Structure 1
């Protein structure tokens, strides 16, 4: 999926680009509103991120007001903590508002939430990510066309992780989604299932493409290997805040 980013500050764009890449998204940078609006007429994007400042973005607010029929979700960013600015952006047609600086995990979660909220009503049936392919109808899982055998619960767990890469999923959420319970029985088996799924994501004992990371009190998340300098599975957090 490709995200159009209107950000005046190139350093901020690189931080956001890295955070989105860890969640499996491609970013395209536009340094001016004119360049952004011109390109939006020429190509389709899955989501638009706009960085605004009060009194300097009349054209952006006018464009938001005129987006009738455009279903592309829009996330507005700003360093200004102003209720009036938030209200103006949302009333003009933005779908969400996020104040900078913010945590990378929150940006990824908000992007995924917007994409889910604004997606067509039909259920998502396939996922393609980092060479892996999941088909909900056939319960088939593969890497670059090579089948990987999963049990039904392992497939459900893989679907959960691959549908929200880069976002921590709590043990309670995993238990409720896969075992339909928050009981201790489900909780005791989650680690075992995660361990088995980790092993199956290691393709032919080569350098892993993705990994499932564990964070204390946060749960598990799927991430691309080699996208940061963190240690092996089980280490904690992403780098800190995204800032100016």
Structure 2
């Protein structure tokens, strides 16, 4: 049974999430502010955290930073803030995904399941398959319909970061720092160019990508 820590200062949301999570077999721990959330996270060691950004004591981004100081637990941000800058700040601080209020319970539960799957040891497989493409992470080799596809070192590194985190929204800044290194945080043109090149080589319809998806204003998500 997975344990979920739900952090929100709205009692009705805490109650609704608790009821729905318990009905689906999850153990639930709740907190109404950031300080309590950090204490409970250390005590309960949850498998996943659902975190509201608008807390009365600490900003949600501060809570994410506090958790990331010692834990790799998946964090799903739940917030009424629709500004993409807030979402990017949360992702850059270490959040794994973001759902905006008001939200559909089915969507939130699907995101939660995906995060738990990504965090399980079974997801360390070195071969990732999507559509007609097969990515062998151990052999650094990509094939499409059985034919090897040649990627540049930068294309490979970008693809590797994406496919190692299926379903996770990765901010542009995260990708730029991971692939190009510090100092390239604002080189968005580089990122768009290489994403387009990957799509041309791997997507059935590059102009209508199914697997390397854009989240406007935020980043990219690999959907196998």
TM-score by length of 1: 0.46
Q: Which structure ranks higher in relative contact order (CA pairs < 8 Å, sequence separation ≥ 6)?
A: 1
TM-score by length of 2: 0.50
